[in-house]
Structure 1
Amino acid sequence: MNEKNIDLLANEPVYKAIVKLSIPMVMGMMVQVFYNLVDTYFIGMLGDSSQLAASNIALPIFILLMGIASIIGTGASSYISRCLGSKDYEQANKTTSISAGLLLMIAIIVTVLGLAFCKPLVKSLGASGDTYEYTYQYVSIMLVGSIAVIGNFAFGQLLRAEGNAVKSMMGMVIGTILNLILDPIFIFKFNLGVSGAALATIIGNLVGFIYYLACFIKGNTVLKIKLRLFSFDKKILGEIFKIGLPSSFNQILMGVATIVANNIAIKYGTQTVAGMGVAAKIMMIGTFIFIGFSTGCQPIIGYSYGAGNLNRAKEVIKIGTRLTCIIGIVLLGVFAISSPILIGLFTKEPQVIDKGTVILRALIWSLPFIGGQMIATTAAQSMGKAVPAMILSISRQGLLYIPLLLILNAVLGFNGFIYAQPATDIIMRVLSSIYISKIFAKELLNINGNIDPKDTLI
């Protein structure tokens, strides 16, 4: 058993533990951002706003695949961390092995059903006219390679569950470097256009997935994948799905929200869709940094909760929230000043640059608030709190954003459309803080019979 990883989760000072687990994850996430930005950059070099718009219209499919991966990745990671915290290593290994089998079965189902209904799916994304054929090509390739995307994302999460952030980052780095090499070859040399970007993405994810699989089978990891441990264990399946499904709802609702936004954006013109796509990719820099911190906090919270150390779990949430808020404020200032330059890196069309700049300067007001809500949701998932995790997961993009998007767009037009997301994130930050504080209050009451309000403030 790798005692170094376990000691990091159990005994390392909270700030140092967060930094040690989060920084490799943030670096890995930045590699993922680079991955997406490289695609956008090379597609933008084609000088065709229809292809640039198509890559944005197809983005919900990638988000949906990641959402499906979250069913296993997040659900299993939460339970594995708690098993490690309670020293039940056999159950942790069994959960890992069952998760691997489930991923394979789910990926096959997604591929078959996705390809069977590909044409109506593309239409529902908002593709039409010049963007339809390009979107169809991109989506078809993504569905064929869905096992690579699902496996890569979920297996990286499983490695993080044992505190193995470095190997998790390495898988992302390997895939991204390969994508960087293949993008210009497929897009320009083979003249595949936006389809080449999709193909490069799938191959990069596939290589990352193979790397992770090799780590679990032969690598120096706490967790191992063993065929003999696979079974349809009701307890393990229940633990995976009660946390994994709410997490996947969040990802799936993000995809649905993007579809709704694209269908509204297309009414403002193809240039608006293209500009929004570039702005959204740039916003990923902040969002993925926060994902890195929240995933870095996850195994510490889960382990601490499993070990009965609520004070340590609470401290992780507090410090992680402060760090992401500070980073968000810094990024807001940087993006506000450099928005036209950033958008101009990915397209030379003046109308797309103008639209993208306006949209980006609206979206950046979300940055100080996203990290805190992500960490609150991760905390609920890590502690196995299925109902709170589900409520927090579906609230941001489902219960709040989509209704606000429709209402504000109807009332305020384009300005309402672009400021719906920041309004949602400000509201969610307040609500998530209140909710997670109530969870800790209830836990402390169950343990001590009384609570000090200062001990529950997050």
Structure 2
Amino acid sequence: MDKETLYYFEKAPVTKAVVHFAVPMMLGTSMNVIYSILNAYFLGTLHNTAMLTALALTLPLFAIIMALGNLIGMGSGTFISRLLGEKKYHDVKHVSSFAFYSSLILGLIVMAVGLPLIDSIVRDLGATPDSFKFTKEYVTIMLIGSPFVVLFFTLENIVRSEGEAITSMIGMVLSVVVNILLDALVIFGFHWGVIGVASATVISNLVASLYYAFHMGYRSQFLTVSVKWFMVTKDILSNVLKIGIPVFIMCIFLGAMSLIFNHFLVEYGDQAVAAYGISSRLLQFPEFILMGLCEGVVPLIAFSFTANKLRLKKTIGFTFKSIVALAAVFGIIVYLISDHLIGLFTNDPQLIEMGSFILHVTYLSLFITGMTSLFTGIFQATAQGTAALIMSIIQGITLIPVLVIANQMNGFHGVVWSLVIADAVAFLVGAIMLFVLRNKLQPELDSLVQ
């Protein structure tokens, strides 16, 4: 950690520090959404609804692979930030080496387990006869490339935890640029369709992972990829898993919710699934901007939690105000041009109508999802494992019964509205737990003010 990074952790005005840590993450996550949208756009140019359906159906699988990366990455990353706040620099090397090799091993396990079961996986994802072939193609490539995808999500978190927000952003942007260039090449040049899009995603994650590994091995003062620092201890496992498991469960629930949601949508035809696939990717842009803000400040919150509680309080307050402002701006934009946004991907009138409706409804919960991301980030950064675990499961637990009831009562419209209801419940539960945490920390904050 250089002097400039330490300055932002310890001494910079809170507004300036939040901007330093969050803006690169917001830019990086928005770029990731852009290439997710472009994946759908490039396939959309082939005017094949079954391909778009396959892309939507594979979201749960990608969520699971991403979950494994976040299991190690978020757990190790928040631990590293706390260790830096305590100036335990020697331990950081052990944790970063553990994270690097553990993520590779997890990715290899996914590949070894998944490939023999690929037909069952594709059926469980909800593929229809029309979309089965394309879904299987995407799943096959993603399973083969899973070690690199897991590693990418792990290392992005590790690099950011050290305070290297710009380096983290460069890696994400590099992944996006490579993906976009390869998408254009494989779709328009090689005519590979779904296989090409999946291959582009895997290769782009590999390139970014190599960039992060180079930084950790040759530029970072504390992080390392050297196997000689690899160590598995009770302290490392407990601290990594305490936060990593709730993050993993949250990602799994997101994948499971997407899977369950797709199964309900299949009842209303491939157009409904494709419409959700398109609208959810458009929704990801503002959602990931807000998530980038919340995830970007996690290292600052974790560092401040062990080093400066008053700075912790100010950081959370400024982040809250930023979420409100961004949610309002994005909400206005989508309500003005939703039809035009969906029309970029398809000329099917039914798809445009369904996609526009989904956008209008799901954008109502944009502020809510932003706040739940902040709650979760606070609990992760402050090592509140139980609260983080509750946040991970509450939305999924709520969504399933709401989906069943809403589907019976109001059909397709009810299925879409169930997402907003589940988000609202998660927000209320998170707000209550944050209030409890605030009361726990208040005596210490009062003593600091005095």
Q: Deviations over 1:367-421 (max 9, x none)?
A: 121111101111111111111111112212x122232222212222111111111
Counterparts of 1:132 and 1:353 in 2: how far apart (Å)?
24
**Higher alpha-carbon deviation: 221-230 or 238-247:** 221-230
Shift in Å, 1:428: 2.3
- Report if aligned partners of 2:141, 2:199 keep a CA contact under 8 Å in 1: yes
Q: What residue number does 2:438 align with?
A: 440
Moved more, 3-12 or 159-168: 3-12
Q: Is the 8 A contact 2:63 2:251 kept in 1?
A: yes
Checking the alignment, whether the CA contact within 8 Å between 1:42 and 1:183 is kept in structure 2 is yes
Retained in 2: the 8 A contact 1:297–1:375?
no
**Residues 85 and 303 of structure 2 are in contact (CA less than 8 Å); yes or no, is this contact kept in structure 1?**
yes
| Paired amino acid for 1:401 | L
User: Identity over the aligned pairs, expressed in percent?
Assistant: 32
1:98-113 aligned at under 5 Å gives the runs 98-113=98-113
The residue number in structure 1 matching 2:200 is: 200
Counterpart for residue 61 of structure 2 = 61
Report the AA paired with residue 333 of structure 2.
V
Partner Cα separation in structure 2 for residue 444 and residue 451 of structure 1: 9
Structure 1 length as normaliser, TM-score?
0.95
Match of 1:404 among 398, 402, 410: 402
Q: CA deviation at 1:434?
A: 1.9
Q: How many equivalent residue pairs?
A: 449
Corresponding residue for 2:136? 136
Answering whether residue 381 of structure 2 is matched by residue 382 of structure 1, we say yes
**Contact 1:317–1:376 (Cα < 8 Å) also in 2:** no
1:80-159 maps to which residues of 2 (within 5 A)? 80-159=80-159
Q: Work out the CA distance in 1 between the residues paired with 2:138 and 2:437.
A: 43
In the alignment, the residues of structure 1 paired with residue 28 and residue 417 of structure 2 have an alpha-carbon distance, to the nearest angstrom, of 29
1:338 aligns with 337
Q: Is the 8 A contact 1:40 1:346 kept in 2?
A: yes
State the alpha-carbon separation in 1 of the partners of residues 388 and 440 from structure 2: 15
Aligned partner of 1:431 in structure 2 is: 429
Alignment CA distance shift 1:219-1:451 (3 Å): closer
Q: Deviations over 1:90-131 (max 9, x none)?
A: 111211111111111111111111112111111111102101
Provide Cα deviations, 1:110-153, integer angstroms capped at 9, x if missing partner.
11111121111111111021011110100110010001111111
Alignment of 1:286-301 (within 5 A): 286-301=286-301
In 2, the alpha carbon distance for the partners of 1:7 and 1:210 equals: 28
Conserved? CA contact 2:92–2:222, under 8 Å: no
One-letter amino acid of the counterpart of residue 404, structure 1: V
Counterpart of 1:359 in structure 2 is 358
Does the C-alpha gap of structure 1 residues 33 and 221 become closer, same or farther in structure 2, counting only changes over 3 Å? farther
Following TM superposition, by how much is the alpha carbon of 1:444 offset from its aligned partner in structure 2, in angstroms?
Answer: 3.6
Spell out the pairing of 1:2-401 with structure 2 (5 A cutoff): 2-307=2-307, 309-396=308-395, 398-401=396-399
What amino acid maps onto 2:367 in structure 1? Answer: P
Query: Which runs of no fewer than 5 residues in structure 1 stay unpaired?
Result: none
CA contact (8 A) 2:100 2:154 kept: no
Measure how far apart 1:331 and its partner are: 0.7
Distance 1:9 1:222 in 2: 16
- Which residue identity is paired with 1:215? H
Q: Structure 2 counterpart of 1:323, which letter?
A: S
What do the CA deviations read for 1:234-267 (whole angstroms, capped 9, x no partner)? 1111110111000110011000000001111111
CA separation of 1:137 and 1:381: change in aligned 2, threshold 3 A: same
The residue type paired with residue 348 of structure 1 is N
For residue 166 of structure 2, what is the amino acid of its counterpart?
V
RMSD: 1.6
Q: In the TM superposition, what is the alpha-carbon distance from 1:223 to its structure 2 partner? A: 2.2
- Distance between the aligned counterparts of 1:373 and 1:22, measured in 2? 17
Instruction: Return the alpha-carbon distance in structure 2 between the equivalents of residues 90 and 7 of structure 1.
Output: 21
Q: CA deviation at 1:7?
A: 2.1
Q: Which moved more, 1:186-195 or 1:76-85?
A: 186-195
What is the identity, as a one-letter code, of the residue corresponding to 1:343?
I
Instruction: Give 1:426 shift.
Output: 2.5
TM-superposed CA distance for 1:3, in Å, is 2.4
Structure 2 portions without partners, runs of 5+: none
Superposition deviation, residue 204 in structure 1: 0.7
Q: Distance in 1 between matches of 2:112 and 2:355?
A: 36
Deviates more, 1:375-384 or 1:7-16: 7-16
Match of 2:50, as an amino acid? S
Separation in structure 1 between the aligned mates of residue 349 and residue 46 of structure 2, nearest angstrom: 15
Residues 284-305 of structure 1 deviation map (CA, whole Å, 9 limit, x = unaligned): 0111101111111101110011
CA distance in 1, matches of 2:316, 2:428: 15
Q: What's the CA shift for 1:220?
A: 4.0
Whole-Å separation in 2 of the counterparts to 1:186 and 1:254 = 29
Separation of aligned partners in 2, 1:356 and 1:339: 8
The amino acid across from 2:235 in the alignment is K
Read off the aligned partner of 1:427 and give its amino acid letter. Answer: V
Contact 1:215 / 1:221 at 8 angstroms: preserved in 2? no
